[in-house]
Amino acid sequence: MSTKQMHIDPYERNWMIFSAILLVLFATAVSVAAFGMGIQVPAPETRVDPRTVAVDPNSPWSNPGLREIEPGKYDAYILAHAIPNWEYLPKEITVPAGSSVSFYVTSGDVQHGFKIQDTNANFMVIPGQVSKLTVKFDEPGTYNFICTEYCGSGHAIMYGAVIVTP
109 or 141, CB closer to ligand CUA? Answer: 109
143 or 149, CB closer to ligand CUA? Answer: 149
Nearest distance from residue 122's CB to ligand CUA, in Å?
13
Which residues of the shown chain bind ligand CUA in the complex (CB under 6 A)? 80, 86, 112, 147, 149-151, 155, 158
Neighbouring-strand partners of residue 96: 165
Neighbouring-strand partners of residue 164: 95, 141
Q: What angle do CA 102, 104, 110 make, to 5 degrees?
A: 150
Nearest distance from residue 117's CB to ligand CUA, in Å?
16
In whole angstroms, give the CA distance from residue 46 to residue 12: 46
64 or 74, CB closer to ligand CUA? Answer: 64
Nearest distance from residue 9's CB to ligand CUA, in Å?
53
DSSP H or E run through 73: strand 73-81
Give the 3-state secondary structure percentages of the chain, helix then strand then coil, rounded to 5.
Answer: 20, 40, 35
Nearest distance from residue 113's CB to ligand CUA, in Å?
6
Nearest distance from residue 134's CB to ligand CUA, in Å?
22
In whole angstroms, give the CA distance from residue 95 to residue 66: 9
φ, ψ dihedrals at 95, nearest 5°: -135, 155
73 or 155, CB closer to ligand CUA? Answer: 155
54 or 151, CB closer to ligand CUA? Answer: 151
